[in-house]
Structure 1
Amino acid sequence: MSEPLLHVSDLSIRYSKRREVTTALRDVSFSLGKEIVTIIGPSGSGKSSLLHTLAGIIRPSKGTLQLSGVPLSPRTHQIALVPQQYGLFPWKTVRESIHLPAALGKRIVSSDLQEEILTTLSLTDLLDRYPSELSGGQCQRVALARAFIMKPDLLLLDEAFSALDVATASRSRQLFLELWQRYPTPTLCVTHSPVEATTLSERTLLIGGKPGTLLADHRGATSSILEEELRHLDEVI
């Protein structure tokens, strides 16, 4: 187990909509080192809200977030979020999409880093194409390349492989893991699949309930154990 870098303490998230207050997460605490940790739980349990809060999109109503000893913030840290639908602009080529975060941050991307990432993800021949000319798996690899080229301090994947067919998702996960081994960074990956959770990581956080709370922090759990826990939560709901 690596030394903890990300610390989430007593995190609660509340929304106000039409004068009604909804609590998405309540008193969630965990730490994360230079490792991949997956997150599973029923729909509506606050998994995506957690990632969006860590990415700086949602403001927490309570709790503290720290990375490497300082408050977590997009102004201080490089935070990469890979959403379920990849987040690619239809009017930008693969080349432009990959370089966009660095361009916005006015950062120089190492040519060696770029070449290795593009080669690993088999994107070298696709740089001048637009998203409409790509398959789902190719779009997903572009989103991953964009994230890794940022050299993020924190990597967040929100159901990043769920829109792909079984074979394509399996290959994409394999490529992701190969790239992650070369550029390890604290990574949280939300997934609805216990099989995917155990494929990507040996550690899985189980979030459930309404509002969502951290029910378990599993290390080495099998997919069947996670499946049974999810089934039980669905029955309770």
Structure 2
Amino acid sequence: MLNEDWCFDSKSISLVRVSGKGNFAKFRRFFEAFGLPVKIVADLDALFEGYQHLGAPKELNDVRAKAIASIDARVKELGVIAEPSARKIKDKIHSASFKEKYNKAKNILRDFQQKGKIDAEGIKIFDGLFTWEDDIARIKVCHEDETARKYLVPLLDGLRSVGICVLSRGAIEDYYPVGAEHGQKPQRALLAISLIKTREDIVAISKPLDEGRNCELTEIFDELFRHREAIY
């Protein structure tokens, strides 16, 4: 609908589901070992937690740091509160890194109970059990606030220029049209497809990242089809 030349089958482009951003680097190494160019499509949360898995160039580190600082200031200005979902909490506490931090914090607590004091390093470890909630507040404000989203644009553009396409609104479900908000993922996806009938329908759910630009999905697909032999 956006461009009749953008057909994955006719351009011999394969889509590979990697089941979590932690696997991006692993899949990239595998396909590049065969000389196949690789591009990535990731949800918004990859800009915050797990950014290292995207394989972004170091030149973008300062751009990312500036974007996060601006978003954090916006979180504070608007009084946005992190509200982790039950699924998010469950995923976090079952991660290996969290278990390691938890065990360290437990030992520090026992030591505190005996000695009655805790050093700066111990406080830092305790804080590490909760700082991941900062990312939830960042994602929330980017969902809800146009100003916060604009802070991301330089980073999004820089990443896309090297084949890393991040969805600015969250996950693909956040682009679904009105009428596909409820239900299980497969049902919602099928309903969204049935509701999108024209190019205008796609443009309506994928606003430009800035004035005078094409809709976001057009820019993403333009990058994905830039090399016809690529595997994503």
Instruction: Calculate the TM-score normalised by the size of structure 1.
Output: 0.26
Q: Which has the higher helix share?
A: 2
Which structure's relative contact order is higher, taking Cα pairs within 8 Å and 6+ residues apart?
A: 2
Larger radius of gyration: 2
Q: Which has the higher strand share?
A: 1
Calculate the TM-score normalised by the size of structure 2: 0.27
